[in-house]
Amino acid sequence: MSTGEQVATDYRTMGLSLKQHPVALLRGRLKERGVLPAKDLERLSDGDRTIVAGIVLTRQRPGKGIVMFVTLEDETGTANLVVFPSIYENQRRDTLTSRLMMCRGKVQKVDGVIHVIAERITSLNDWLAELGAPGSDRGVAGLPGDGSGAVRSDGSDASFVARGRFFH
């Protein structure tokens, strides 16, 4: 069983993995797309544009609030997103269904707190499914990229289920 298959199995059964963070297995592909690790957000300035990605830990839309807050986790830490209604409504499906989310946005730093104000949200759920596919350890560029709905070597569903807390 490949590391990707083991991590996917761990997340399906326990909601976490001690082997490796799933985003670490995808870091090469993310880097090719200009995605910054969460820990590097602190070196950016207020107003800088960036791209972050990670497993969705929480989605919160408090009370009658019009803003949605999303927390992403990668292998280095967490990134907090602020999603305004225009983005939420125009990209509703990706905003609500992403388990692995990529976000392009603008850094907001206020009193030491860092947020990314979302401008574009993209679901990378197909990448998670590919982690559970046989041969997913062939290297960063070797992961299949066609999003065809991978299956494990035993023929079962390879979908990756990362547990999160969602309030909306």
126-136 pLDDT per residue, tens: 988 777 666 65
CA distance 114 to 11: 28
Residue 122 in this model has a pLDDT that exceeds 90 = yes
pLDDT band at 159 (very low <50, low <70, confident <90, very high): very low
C-alpha–C-alpha distance, residues 50 and 37, integer Å: 10
Domain 3-131 has CATH 3.30.9.10: no
Reference 19, options 30, 35, 6; nearest CA is 6
What's the confidence (pLDDT) of residue 21? 81
- Helices and strands counted in the chain (H then E): 5, 6
DSSP 150: -
- Neighbouring residues of 77: CB distance < 8 A, sequence distance ≥ 6: 37, 38, 39
pLDDT, tens only, 55-108: 999 999 988 878 999 999 999 999 999 999 999 999 999 999 999 999 999 999
Question: Which residue ranges make up each domain of the chain?
Answer: 3-131
Q: Rounded to whole angstroms, what are the CA distances from 150 to 28, 44, 63, 98?
A: 20, 37, 38, 17
Tell me, what's the pLDDT at 82?
A: 98
**Whether pLDDT at 119 is above 50:** yes
